[in-house]
């Protein structure tokens, strides 16, 4: 039986309990990656509220059922026997997305409401069905707001409290404004030291993740990854930018140096 989506199933509930305002109020610093730095520790009630909202978003953003995704695509393509077969293939390519986001994307395409700019093209012919990548792009954009909210909540829940500057005894001849500036600078120095120490502690794990990602690049290209240099694997794009080329040597894909004298292995 084909699933009939209700409005409540297609639109994740908005944050109406103040968790968004709470997350913004306690954040002192937002690094480009990793947990936020907090002005103060979260209370049990606050942490519970944020975790409850995050759990709700995680359920909404979980990959959809292949059956539901295939049905949405089949309806978009016209519901013919051929469309049913193609829809099964598309469902595999869209398997990382929530079913509700895929269904809403398909509805927008079928109603002619997708704009060329959303797909990164100059012109869109609504007389032709979209391809898998285009449906994936629109569905990803539909879910993006909720993905970003979940990432913010996760960064707050894993956040660390910013250390406070030590109490300062009043100094003769120092105005309140001058004392405030000194306190601010010392607090900034403490925060900087804390960040540097944390980055050093996290460096091995960061290097390990980076190396794993770069090794996967080589494996996807059918190449043997090079040995790490100074602890890091040089990325494949960087090797190609330096002039290395991918060639077949004795039936094996290898990187060859720009001088064609050395096989990088």
Q: Over the chain, what is the mean pLDDT? A: 82
- Calculate what percentage of the chain has a pLDDT beyond 70: 80
- Which tens digit of pLDDT belongs to each residue from 220-240? 888 888 887 767 788 888 778
> What is the pLDDT at residue 216?
86
* Contact predicate 157/54, CB 8 Å: yes
> What is the pLDDT at residue 72?
94
Q: Confidence band (pLDDT; 50, 70, 90) for 209?
A: confident
> What is the pLDDT at residue 169?
60
Across residues 201-225, what is the average pLDDT?
78
Half-sphere exposure of residue 40: CA atoms within 13 angstroms, side-chain side:
7
CA distances from residue 29 to 85, 157, 167, 191, 229 in whole angstroms, order as listed = 50, 14, 22, 10, 33
- Which tens digit of pLDDT belongs to each residue from 150-196? 998 998 899 888 665 555 565 666 666 666 566 666 666 666 666 66
Report how far residue 212's alpha carbon sits from residue 216's, in angstroms, rounded to the nearest whole number: 6
Across residues 137-160, what is the average pLDDT?
92
Q: Is the pLDDT of residue 98 over 90?
A: yes
The pair of structure tokens assigned to 86 is 């193609």
Handedness of CA 109, 111, 112, 115 (dihedral sign): negative
140 CB-contact burial (10 Å; exposed 0-12 / middle 13-18 / buried 19+): middle
Q: Confidence band (pLDDT; 50, 70, 90) for 70?
A: very high
Nearest to 23 by CA among 52, 56, 50: 50
Q: Is the pLDDT of residue 258 over 80?
A: no
- Specify the range with the lowest mean pLDDT, choosing from 27-31, 66-70, 152-156, 255-259: 255-259
Report how far residue 128's alpha carbon sits from residue 76's, in angstroms, rounded to the nearest whole number: 11
> What is the pLDDT at residue 186?
66
Nearest to 4 by CA among 80, 68, 51, 93: 68
The strand pair at 37-38 and 160-161 is best described as: parallel
What is the distance of C-alpha 199 from the center of its chain? 20
In this structure, how many other beta carbons lie within 10 angstroms of the beta carbon of residue 245?
12
DSSP 3-state assignment of 101?
Answer: helix
> What is the pLDDT at residue 1?
72
């Amino acid at each position: 039986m084909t699933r009939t989506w209700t409005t409540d199933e297609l639109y994740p509930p908005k944050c109406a309990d103040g968790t968004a305002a709470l997350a913004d109020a306690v954040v002192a610093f937002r690094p480009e990656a990793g947990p936020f730095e907090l002005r103060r520790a979260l209370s049990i009630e606050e942490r519970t509220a944020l975790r409850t909202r995050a759990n709700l978003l995680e359920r909404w953003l979980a990959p959809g059922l292949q059956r539901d995704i295939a049905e949405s695509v089949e309806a978009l393509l016209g519901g013919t026997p051929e469309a049913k077969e193609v829809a099964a293939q598309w469902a595999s390519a869209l398997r990382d997305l929530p079913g509700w986001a895929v269904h809403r994307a398909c509805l927008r395409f079928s109603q002619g409401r997708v704009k060329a700019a959303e797909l990164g093209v100059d012109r869109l012919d609504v007389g032709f069905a979209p391809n898998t990548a285009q449906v994936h792009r629109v569905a990803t954009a539909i879910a993006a707001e909720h993905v970003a909210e979940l990432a913010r909540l996760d960064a707050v829940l894993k956040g660390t409290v910013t250390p406070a500057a030590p109490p300062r005894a009043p100094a003769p001849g120092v105005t309140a404004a001058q004392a405030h500036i000194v306190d601010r600078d010392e607090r900034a120095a403490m925060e900087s030291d804390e960040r540097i120490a944390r980055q050093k502690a996290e460096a091995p794990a960061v290097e390990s993740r980076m190396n794993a990602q770069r090794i996967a690049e080589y494996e996807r290209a059918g190449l043997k990854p090079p040995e790490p240099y100074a602890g890091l694997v040089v990325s494949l794009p960087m090797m190609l930018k330096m002039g290395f080329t991918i060639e077949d040597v004795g039936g094996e894909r290898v990187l060859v140096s720009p001088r064609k004298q050395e096989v990088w292995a």
